[in-house]
Structure 1
Amino acid sequence: MHLINTTTLGLHEFVDVSTAPRYAIVSHRWGDAEVSHKDYLKGRQRGGNGFRKIEQSCQRARRDGHDWLWIDSCCIDKRSSASLNEAINSMFSYYARAAVCYAYLYDVEMGLASDVEPSVVKAKLAASDWFTRGWTLQELIAPRTVQFFDCNWSYIGAKSSDAPSLNQPISEIAGVPEVVLRARENLYRYSVAQRFSWASKRTTTRVEDLSYCLLGLFDINMPLIYGEGWKAFSRLQKEILTRYDDDSILAWRTFDEGQTPNPYPRGNARGLLARMPAEFANASQAIRSIGHNRPPCALTNRGIEIRIPAGKTSGAYRDPDDQGVVHLYINCIPWREAGPYVLVLRYLPHCRHYSRVALLQDVNWRASHSRWQACREDEVLYVHLTWMDAVYCSTQPAHAR
């Protein structure tokens, strides 16, 4: 971990992060003139906006009594893949360990925030690019305290448990519950789908980074492979499936997926996993249910193995024109609403697999729940939801075949 001395502006490396000195950290929207690690060491670009941002950050930190500062533009050596992997996989902990985080909003000019109406402060914050970027989501959640500054380094307010002047407006802007802003430990009270929903409207310059920037929200570490595109999001979901007993990861919807009794367009065949966080845009209320009595899922070479009652489908969602439809009840419900989510699967005769075609909610939950509880072992269907674009079903578990 590299830190900048706020007095000398020298860059120093600390091999053991746990023994690094107390430091402040910066969260910002990158511009065109950022100073790289290499250029900083060689003393280049000292007159540009990127270096001026570093200087002003150090001045702010020094004024607050912090001798050290971390800012990603020059503290990460992107020439080294090992250094980049370590930094991105450790980014959440870097921000969590910081004494304070300074959020610099280059596109906000507030003046003296105490003289500005709260509604105006909220509107100006909401218009900032900072709230649209993927990386700044974890930079908002991880630190105990985030102090916001406008383009002139005028103090706007803070999110924290001690001085929460901006907790409520930021919660409404970012879509992150206020309880999570007050204390990051509350992050783990929220389902996988809910956490993905917070990132559903955010963007990154590179496609892969929209997955890598979410690692810390799930306490996941995985290697970076730039060039893999949206496969990165598939890899992230697989890692989550091996770590969390949380069916809400299946509670995503495609952009054109309807909620009528027969929303099965035949060209909408999909597999188990979402292709991007944007497909969780409507999952902010998807929570885990504790009412199911289903054994845990199993990882097999065919994918995820889930036991469901064979043929126990709700009549409300039966497709009269297609006898190859199966309904999979997942252990996930909308908050404050009765009835679980149901995955609708359609049989594909040409490959003898099933495809996911819709996510619905069972309005006849009471009847279907009683049938589920009475399901015998010989009535169970083993559904293998494969990683890509097919679903394999069998009447026997993988180890019995």
Structure 2
Amino acid sequence: MAENLAFKIYKTILRVILEVFSFFPERISEHEEVILRKGLVPDGFLPHPKGMIWLHGASVGEVQTLMPFIRLLNDKYGRERLVTTATTIDGLKLLQKSETSAFSSLLPFDLPEYYNFFIEKIKPSLLLISETEIWPMLLHYAAKKNIPAGLINARINTKSVRMMSMFKGLFRPVLKELSFVFPQNNNYYRRFKILGVPEEKMKIMGSFKYDAISDDACPEAFREKYAIPQERPIICFGSTHPGEEEIIAAALKEILKYHPELIAIVAVRHLRRIHEAEKTFSDYQIPYQKASERKEITEPLFLLDTIGELKSAYATSSLAFVGGSLIERGGHNIMEPALFAKPVVTGPSLFNFASERRTLSKDKALFIVHDELELAALIKDSLQNPQVYKEAGKRGAAALKKMRGASLATFEELENCGYLEL
């Protein structure tokens, strides 16, 4: 594929930007990052004789979502056949921690001089790019080197479609040269088609994110750890944001008058805000304890100020509220509590999880509240009619089960099409 004027302008702009940044003093960490982005590989690395699979994800979220797919590759071909890259440092750290590839690095700067060195060293026979990582020179160089390249778990928003349409001289040629694109759903399929990806190269495979939801929580261990009596009902409020704790506090203030046996677990989205949450609940005169105190729960409110226990809290609860939804934040993953067959409650703002909202709503497994009055009424109803909400939780778990399997389906499709015949 020959370079057009758009490619030449793009390369020139990137080189100018890198040159400008080279005049600024670097911290040690930044210096190490720049070295990795120049396409260097570990000393002594030798590519597998049968070829390497190069898998790329952007940041922590994308890398976490890729893990079930990476494990499938490991099981079939071994970690020594896999090279993984990330766009961000945090994504790289997660890849390195997982120890699922021959080595992990940062994606090189999007310029041929860096890709040339990197590709010559790792000798990939297949390039798999996750979700929205469309780098023009990377795809152009892969096509130039006759390396099959495709997007897996692919998605693209309308803003990116508009941007890429404006610069179609840069993006349309490389998108047309992709060997395959596996969109998550029909909306993404249509958007990639608008950008020029041929229909015969696309196949809807579903979303990896449902496979990445882990069910390794242990509610019995959680109750035992914090000495929670079995007879006390638990409601979990996960991933809360500023403005939501006030609504939760007002609802709890009302409901505890009638149900003092209730335990409410609150996990703020960002732990640095735990003191804000403490002040809010203190202002509403709701007694609380913190998980970090490691004491038996005796108060009605339990602030989960530890890392890695939210899933266990969801699994232990009889009702789960998922935050970021009573404010204009777009919500968080409502499928996490659904995995444990818990009825899910949110506010109305779920634009980041529109398809999940439709799925759970269709099966009557999602409850939407708008304020503290509706939240208090729903909690009261769930305590008075537990079986109704238990059945709703079961419907949500069944809906999630139907949505899983995209990682395996993608793996099998790549095998069937011959891309993994290495």
TM band (smaller chain): under 0.3
Higher share of residues assigned helix: 2
